[in-house]
Amino acid sequence: MRALAAFAMAGRRQAIIAAVLCGMIPLINMISPALVALVLLRHGPREALMVAAFAVLPSIGWASVGDMTPLILLIGVGVMAAVLRRTASWQYALLAAILVAVGSEAALMMRPAVMDLLLQQVEAFMAAGGGSVELPEVTPETLREGVLTLFGLMHMLMAVFLLILARWWQALMYNPGGFQKEFHEFRLQPSVAMLLVGLFLLASLGGTVLTGWILYFVIPLAIAGVALVHGLVGIKRLSRLFLVAFYLLLPSPLAVQLLSVAALLDSFYDFRRRIQPPADDGSI
């Protein structure tokens, strides 16, 4: 992976070749947006647009046959990288990730044929799983909203991961250790955290256009919670096995809720600033 990033950073031609070739290969085409984001983070939007003008061609090709994900990610990750470069703040990049999720929903609604295919696949999956377990009745409208939300959430999480990959590449080549420091220190400002909580509560009331977006407002808080855990582990110099156990528990909804609450509290109290590293054993 580092060799690919180094090749792309060797010049504009190499970046175009890497982005286009990756974009043409199934599954690997997810790497193309990260390469464009790397160019943007390192050289700015003008240079990135030159690379994106070619990288978008295979993405358009995939979209024409029904796979909109490469195109959505290319645009979404590019916007998030531009926000991160301009603000040097992950919290604003994560807010931009919410727009990626909403934009993904809009893109899916604009392609009724793709939407119908996804609904058919979900219905077939539910029917196959209903042989041994009785599933609750789901109305067509509820199923449609669920598919839209999952589609948006999937693209939001992938966009965040690809931006993290691009930032890690950048630090690996030009600022070793910089990404780790940046991530360990990441926390939401109180105003941003309260904005997310307010939107979450508004969406939870139901009957609003935001109802299907509840998870979108939780993800930035959860990621800030993950950064908090990494920061505390680094400060206390705990074993990496602690992080292994943490990630094994992370898929649990309860763990996500606890992380979100911890991130909200951390935005006000800054736990990392209050916790001291352990004293050296050899100190006098």
Three-state SS at 1: coil
Q: Nearest-CA neighbor of 167 among 184, 182, 156, 151? A: 182
Residues with Cβ within 8 Å of 251's Cβ and at least 6 positions away in sequence, in order, are none
pLDDT in tens, 167-215: 999 999 999 999 999 999 999 999 999 999 999 988 888 655 667 789 9
For the full predicted model, state whether its pTM sits above 0.85.
yes
In this prediction, residue 18 carries a pLDDT of: 97
Distance, CA of 283 to CA of 39 (rounded, Å): 45
Distance, CA of 131 to CA of 129 (rounded, Å): 6
Residue 66 has pLDDT above 90, yes or no: no
Residue 276 has pLDDT above 50, yes or no: yes
In this prediction, residue 136 carries a pLDDT of: 62
How far is residue 28 CA from its own chain's centroid?
Answer: 17
Q: Is 136 left (phi over 0), alpha (psi -120 to 50) or beta?
A: beta
In this prediction, residue 80 carries a pLDDT of: 98
Confidence of residue 2 (pLDDT cuts 50, 70, 90): confident
Distance, CA of 7 to CA of 46 (rounded, Å): 19
Three-state SS at 30: helix
Number of alpha carbons in the 13 Å side-chain half-sphere of residue 273: 7
In this prediction, residue 225 carries a pLDDT of: 96
Q: What are the DSSP calls for 120-143, one per residue?
A: HHHHHHHHHHTTTS-PPP--HHHH
In this prediction, residue 283 carries a pLDDT of: 43
Distance, CA of 66 to CA of 225 (rounded, Å): 36
In this prediction, residue 38 carries a pLDDT of: 97
Torsion of the alpha carbons at 49, 103, 254 and 131, rounded to the nearest 10: -120
Residue 240 has pLDDT above 70, yes or no: yes
pLDDT in tens, 3-54: 999 999 999 999 999 999 999 999 899 999 999 999 999 999 999 999 999 9
Residue pair 93/80 in contact (Cβ under 8 Å)? The answer is yes
Cα angle 99, 178, 76; round to 5 = 15
Residue corresponding to tokens 């060797």? 10
Stretch 54-82: mean pLDDT, rounded? 95
pLDDT in tens, 112-167: 888 888 888 887 777 776 444 455 667 778 788 888 999 999 999 999 999 999 99
Residue 60 has pLDDT above 70, yes or no: yes
Distance, CA of 77 to CA of 71 (rounded, Å): 10
pLDDT in tens, 157-169: 999 999 999 999 9
Contacts 24+ apart (CB under 8 A), 229-234: 229/259, 230/183, 230/184, 231/183, 231/184, 231/185, 231/186, 231/272, 232/271, 232/272, 232/275, 234/180, 234/184
Confidence of residue 284 (pLDDT cuts 50, 70, 90): very low
Structure tokens at 180: 């780790």
- Read off the amino acid at residue 183: F
Q: Which of 6-10, 92-96, 123-127, 268-272 has the lowest mean pLDDT?
A: 123-127
